[in-house]
Amino acid sequence: MTFKKNDEITKENIDFEKDNVFRIENNSDTFEVLVDNESIVKFDFTDVVLEEHVCNSDGIEKEYTHDASQACYNERVYCTECGKTISTHAQGHSFGDETIEYAHTKEVCYTATSNCMNCNAERVRSVGHDWNETPVPYYGVFYECNRESCGYSYTHQHVESTKKEFTNSKDSYCYADITYCTECNKETNRKEVPHNFSKSYNDTKTKVTYDCQNPDCEVSYSENHMHSWTVESYDDEIENLVCDCGETSDRSHTLSNGTWGECSTCDYTKEYTGHFHTEDPIPTIEEPSELIEDYCYIAIYKCKDCHQETRRVTVLHDIDYDHPLVLGPVYEYHCKNCDYYKTEIKLPNNNLDSANYEINEVSNSETSSIANAETNVKVSKTTKTTKKKK
């Protein structure tokens, strides 16, 4: 038997079927039955009044694959009245517990076998080793599987070869000289070689082109060129400049204060900081290692920005003569800034002025009588300076 719908074969040369369902979608549909390639009956539904049909989804059929590499089964939901497919769905396998069998070979650690609980399809997984690698200097690598139940190990001897690996990037190194094993492909040595760029300029010196001169390297790029001047020589009022592109120019001396001072680049310069110093009004105090008569301390002034020393000021003692420390005839005059002081002895005698005196005890044969004095003394006019440590 052969069935046709709208003159197209839907079933061809099948065994006899007692019950067949024709699905009519519109009035133009036709159905024809042929037996031994001869038309027996042809249905024409031109004058038929069609009623709307609402499909159900009561029909379910499953087609199992029994293949672990495919879906477990394909499910089709269809209408039980007209046979129309409502939906299809591929259902995955549900594998049970795995059976582990260790292979003890270099390629495979163990095989894991399990079966689908729905279709009984068998799945076999080959699992590689969990290697622990220990380098063997000047030889290769010792491999040992970390799984206790396996314990497989072997030593691999490198078969070395060399190659160049180019980066093709101007922002990285040029290439790497690599020594590697041809069997395991591991690198045993690597040396990164930088680019060796040459520079060339266009006629107007506005562009510069960089070409790597290393063999087999094709990296080349261009960029705008701005002159970077360096001082080649000096004249009295002019600096002669040169750029690495070969262009020359000149300019007036750059003075430290714009209109006066030393030039910042020529032979007359002092150390040039690149800015005008802003002096810190609070100096650093440098005191002498011991109290001396020459000065009190040295005030060192520095720039607040770059901390460069701008000047040194030697500060003398500021002796307070108006407020002496009086200890009998001894007068002590102290410095207002440190512990240094001077002393003088003043005797109540109109014949002696208010200068400093040194009093030394002497023998009776050398004495001269001084009124109101209770002892015999020799008086010599002198100046004495006393130092006192803090």
CA terminus-to-terminus distance, the chain: 132
Token pair, residue 334, equals 């102290």
Number of Cβ within a 10 Å radius of residue 73? 19
Mean pLDDT across the stretch 138-150? 91
C-alpha 116: how far from chain center: 51
Confidence (pLDDT) at 327: 85
Of 48-62, 73-87, 279-293, 344-358, which range is least confident?
A: 344-358
For residues 327-365, one letter each, b for 16 or more C-beta atoms within 10 angstroms of the residue's C-beta and e for the rest, the string is eeeebebbbeebebbbbbbbeeeeeeeeeebeeeeeeee
pLDDT in tens, 289-347: 888 888 899 899 888 877 778 788 889 989 998 888 888 888 898 998 888 888 888 87
Query: To the nearest whole percent, how much of the chain has pLDDT over 70?
Result: 80
Is the CB of residue 192 less than 8 Å from the CB of residue 185? Answer: no
Token pair, residue 117, equals 């609980």
Mean pLDDT across the stretch 1-8? 85
pLDDT in tens, 213-234: 999 999 999 999 888 877 777 6
Is the CB of residue 131 less than 8 Å from the CB of residue 146? Answer: yes
Mean pLDDT across the stretch 131-152? 91
β-strands 110-115, 99-102: how paired? Answer: antiparallel
Confidence (pLDDT) at 82: 81
Confidence (pLDDT) at 264: 61
Burial (CB count <10 Å: 0-12, 13-18, 19+), residue 127: middle
Instruction: Inform me whether the pLDDT recorded for 195 exceeds 80.
Output: yes
Token pair, residue 178, equals 């690599």
Is the CB of residue 119 less than 8 Å from the CB of residue 129? Answer: no
Confidence (pLDDT) at 311: 84
Number of Cβ within a 10 Å radius of residue 180? 19
Q: Which of 6-10, 297-301, 386-390 has the highest mean pLDDT?
A: 297-301
Is the CB of residue 16 less than 8 Å from the CB of residue 34? Answer: no
Is the CB of residue 101 less than 8 Å from the CB of residue 111? Answer: yes
